[in-house]
C-alpha cells in the first residue's frame, strides 16, 4: 500500500532526510520504516502536520513504510472518538498508513520485558507514593536519593509485580521502576517508573490489565517491536532519548524473540529491531495555542463550538474553516525541518492558503450586507442570463450563466451618501460598473422613517452592456452584485484569529490564555449568493469576488439554506486592524 499521495518532493533535503539517505547508502538499513504515534486523548492540531508529513513523507520518499500507532497507555483520558478523528485527519491530508497498530497490542510484551528487567536486577517494585517519589528525585542542581525499596531482592520484586498484575493493590500503591542513576543530571534517568497501578477499563483490552506501562517505556519498546528504523519526534523528547535508548538496549527485543510470544501467537510478525530516535522542532504558530489540555478546556467550557470549531487549530477545525490539504502540505514543506524551535507568523499560513485557492477556487458573487438597488429603466419582468468565466486565469474551468433582472443587491459598504476622499464606489448621481452587466447610475436614495437607507434606485446605461462599444467607457469602480429574484438567502460565518495577542501562552502579566480570547473571532452575517453557489456541495470552496475565499460548511450547508465559512480574506487585514 502506498504511504501517501502527493507527498513532499523527492529532492527535499534536511538533516533528517540526510541521515536516512546516508543510512541507506551505507547499508545500515535496506528498508526504511517510520511511524506516526499519536496519543488518542484529543484531536490532532496544526502542530501535528509537520510530524505527519515528516513520518509519512520520509517513508514514501524512500519506498519505505509508515505505521499509524496509537500510544494508548493512559485509558483514563482516551476515547474512540479521538481514534476515529485522527484516522480521518490523516486520510484527509492525503496519507495512508502501512499497518494500524496500538501500544495496547503489545501489553503482553511490555509485561514480559518488565519481568526480564526484574530478573536481570534492573527493575524493582517501589512503595513510595507520588509525592514521595518527587521528594526523593532531587532537583536540576541536586542529585536524587535512592528509594528505600531499591534493593529489594529479585524474588520479592517478582512476587510483588505478579501481585500488581493480579490487581491485588489499589491505584498508586506501588510502581515498577528501573534502576539507572539517581545522580544523573538528566532527571528522566533517575530510576523512572515503567509500570503503574491503574484500575481503569481500556477501550481495547477491557479490564484485562490493572497495571499500565508508562509512556517512555511503552513508546520505545513499541518502536522496537515494529522494526522502526527512524523514530522521529519533536524536541521536547530530546531529554527522554537516553531513557528511550536505555529501554531498547536493556530489553533487547531483537535478541529475545521469546519476549514477543504474546504478539507472535496472535499472528503479528517478528519485526523487532533497534530503532534510532531523532528530534526536530515543533511547528508553533502565533495567535494560537497548541496544548491539548488548553484546547480541551476551550471545548469543555463552551468557549468555542466544539473541537471542529473553525477558529480552533485542530485539523478538524481548520478543515471546516476551508483550509485545503494542499495548502497545509505546501506550508509545512516550505518551513522545512530544523533543531531550533521558533514561532511562525500566522500570516505565512494564511498566505499559503490564498496562494493555493487563487489557482483552484472558482469565482462566484455574494453580497454580505445587502442593499436593494432597483434599475428603473428595466421592466419589472426583465430577466436575462449573463455569461461569466468561472476562473479568470483558467479557461478550463468553463463558464456559467448568471441571472440578471431589474433589481439586484449590492453590498451596503459599496455605497456612501457622503463619500470619503478617494472613494471609488457608488454615490448619489454617481456611476459604477456592475460586474458583467453594464454601467449603472444612482438617481435616488430611499430611506425609512428612522433615516436608514433601505433602497437605491437608478438606471442601467443600455449602451454599456458587455460587448458594446459603450462598455469601454471608463468609470471609477466595479461592484459585485446578486440578482434579487434568483439570489439565495445565505448565512456567512466570518472567522478570525481566536486570540487577540500573538502569544496567548504568555502568563507573565497574570492573565491566562482564556483572558486573551478575541470576542470578534466569530461574526455571522445574512445576505445572498448567486444561485449556482447555493448548489455547492459541502466543503466546496469559492472566491466570492472582492470579498474573500469561502467554503460551504461541511455540516450545516444545504442547497436550500446555504452556509459559507470565510476561510481567508483576499489580503491580510489583521495587521491593519491591529495598528
Minimal CA–CA distance to 86: which of 101, 104, 106, 107?
Answer: 101
CB 319 within 8 A of CB 327: no
User: In whole angstroms, what is the distance from residue 167 CA to residue 209 CA?
Assistant: 8
- Containing H/E element for 434? strand 431-434
Cα 181–185–190 angle (5° rounding)? 35
199 Cβ contact partners less than 8 Å away, ≥ 6 residues apart = 167, 170, 171, 210
Neighbours of 476 (CB within 10 A): 14
Query: What would the grid cell of residue 528 be?
Result: 445572498
Greatest alpha-carbon pair distance for the chain in Å reads 101
Phi and psi of 305, rounded to 5°?
Answer: -95, 40
As a whole number of Å, the CA-based R_g of the chain is 31
154-to-119, 161, 193, 430 alpha-carbon distances in Å: 6, 10, 17, 94
User: In whole angstroms, what is the distance from residue 470 CA to residue 456 CA?
Assistant: 23
Residue written as grid cell 461574526: 523
User: In whole angstroms, what is the distance from residue 69 CA to residue 95 CA?
Assistant: 14
Could you list the active site residues?
39, 282, 292
CB 489 within 8 A of CB 445: no
Residue written as grid cell 478575541: 518
Neighbours of 326 (CB within 10 A): 18
Q: How many helices (H) and strands (E) does the chain have?
A: 15, 27
CB-hemisphere CA count at 13 Å for 472?
Answer: 3
Q: How far is CA 289 from the centre of its chain?
A: 12
CB 282 within 8 A of CB 48: no
Cα 105–34–123 angle (5° rounding)? 50
Q: How far is CA 417 from the centre of its chain?
A: 45
59 Cβ contact partners less than 8 Å away, ≥ 6 residues apart = 3, 32, 33, 34, 65, 66, 98
User: In whole angstroms, what is the distance from residue 20 CA to residue 229 CA?
Assistant: 9
Query: What would the grid cell of residue 359 be?
Result: 489557482
Amino acid at each position: 500500500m502506498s504511504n501517501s499521495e502527493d507527498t513532499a518532493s523527492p529532492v527535499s533535503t534536511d538533516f533528517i532526510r540526510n541521515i536516512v539517505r546516508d543510512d541507506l547508502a551505507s547499508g545500515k538499513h535496506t528498508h526504511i520504516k517510520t511511524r506516526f504515534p499519536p496519543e488518542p486523548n484529543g484531536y490532532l492540531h496544526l502542530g501535528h502536520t509537520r510530524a505527519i508529513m515528516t513520518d509519512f513523507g520520509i517513508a514514501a520518499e524512500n519506498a519505505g513504510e509508515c505505521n499509524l500507532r496509537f500510544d494508548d497507555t493512559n485509558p483514563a483520558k482516551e476515547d474512540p472518538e479521538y481514534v476515529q478523528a485522527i484516522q480521518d485527519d490523516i486520510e484527509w491530508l492525503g496519507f495512508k498508513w502501512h499497518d494500524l497498530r496500538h501500544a495496547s497490542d503489545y501489553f503482553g510484551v511490555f509485561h514480559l520485558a518488565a519481568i526480564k528487567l526484574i530478573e536481570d536486577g534492573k527493575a524493582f517494585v517501589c512503595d513510595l507514593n507520588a509525592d514521595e517519589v518527587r521528594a526523593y528525585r532531587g532537583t536540576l542542581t541536586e542529585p536524587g536519593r535512592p528509594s528505600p525499596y531499591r534493593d529489594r531482592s529479585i524474588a520479592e520484586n517478582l512476587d510483588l509485580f505478579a501481585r500488581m498484575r493480579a490487581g491485588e493493590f489499589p491505584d498508586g500503591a506501588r510502581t515498577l521502576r528501573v534502576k539507572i542513576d539517581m545522580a544523573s543530571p538528566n532527571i528522566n534517568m533517575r530510576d523512572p517508573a515503567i509500570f503503574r497501578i491503574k484500575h481503569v477499563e481500556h477501550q481495547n483490552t477491557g479490564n484485562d490489565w490493572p497495571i499500565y506501562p508508562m509512556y517512555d517505556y511503552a513508546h520505545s519498546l513499541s518502536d522496537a517491536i515494529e522494526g522502526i528504523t527512524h523514530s522521529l519526534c519533536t524536541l521536547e523528547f530530546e531529554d527522554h532519548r537516553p531513557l528511550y535508548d536505555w529501554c531498547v538496549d536493556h530489553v533487547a527485543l531483537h535478541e529475545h524473540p521469546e519476549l514477543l510470544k504474546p504478539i507472535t501467537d496472535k499472528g503479528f510478525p517478528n519485526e523487532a529491531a533497534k530503532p534510532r530516535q531523532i528530534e526536530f522542532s515543533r511547528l508553533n504558530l502565533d495567535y494560537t495555542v497548541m496544548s491539548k489540555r488548553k484546547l480541551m478546556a476551550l471545548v469543555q467550557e463552551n468557549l468555542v463550538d466544539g473541537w471542529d470549531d473553525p477558529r480552533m487549530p485542530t485539523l478538524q477545525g481548520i478543515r471546516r474553516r476551508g483550509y485545503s490539504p494542499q495548502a497545509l502540505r505546501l506550508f509545512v514543506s516550505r518551513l522545512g525541518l530544523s533543531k531550533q524551535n521558533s514561532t511562525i507568523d500566522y500570516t505565512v499560513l494564511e498566505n499559503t492558503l490564498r496562494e493555493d485557492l487563487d489557482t483552484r477556487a472558482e469565482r462566484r458573487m455574494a453580497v454580505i450586507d445587502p442593499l436593494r438597488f432597483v434599475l428603473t429603466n428595466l421592466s419589472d419582468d426583465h430577466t436575462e442570463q449573463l455569461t461569466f468565466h468561472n476562473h479568470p486565469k483558467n479557461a478550463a474551468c468553463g463558464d456559467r450563466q448568471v441571472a440578471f433582472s431589474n433589481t439586484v443587491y449590492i453590498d451596503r459598504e459599496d455605497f456612501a451618501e457622503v463619500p470619503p476622499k478617494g472613494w471609488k464606489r457608488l454615490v448619489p448621481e454617481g456611476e459604477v460598473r456592475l460586474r458583467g452587466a453594464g454601467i449603472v447610475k444612482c438617481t435616488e436614495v430611499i430611506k425609512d422613517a428612522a433615516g436608514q437607507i433601505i433602497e437605491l434606485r437608478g438606471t442601467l446605461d443600455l449602451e454599456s452592456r458587455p460587448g458594446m462599444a459603450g462598455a469601454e467607457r471608463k468609470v471609477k469602480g466595479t461592484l459585485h452584485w446578486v440578482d434579487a429574484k434568483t439570489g439565495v438567502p445565505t448565512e456567512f460565518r466570518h472567522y478570525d484569529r481566536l486570540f487577540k495577542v500573538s502569544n496567548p501562552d504568555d502568563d507573565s502579566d497574570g492573565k491566562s490564555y482564556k483572558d486573551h480570547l478575541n470576542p470578534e473571532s466569530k461574526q455571522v452575517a445574512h445576505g445572498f449568493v448567486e444561485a449556482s453557489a447555493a448548489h455547492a456541495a459541502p466543503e466546496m470552496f469559492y472566491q466570492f469576488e472582492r470579498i474573500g475565499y469561502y467554503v460551504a460548511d461541511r455540516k450545516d450547508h444545504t442547497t436550500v439554506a446555504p452556509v459559507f465559512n470565510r476561510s481567508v480574506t483576499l489580503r491580510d487585514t489583521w495587521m491593519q486592524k491591529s495598528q
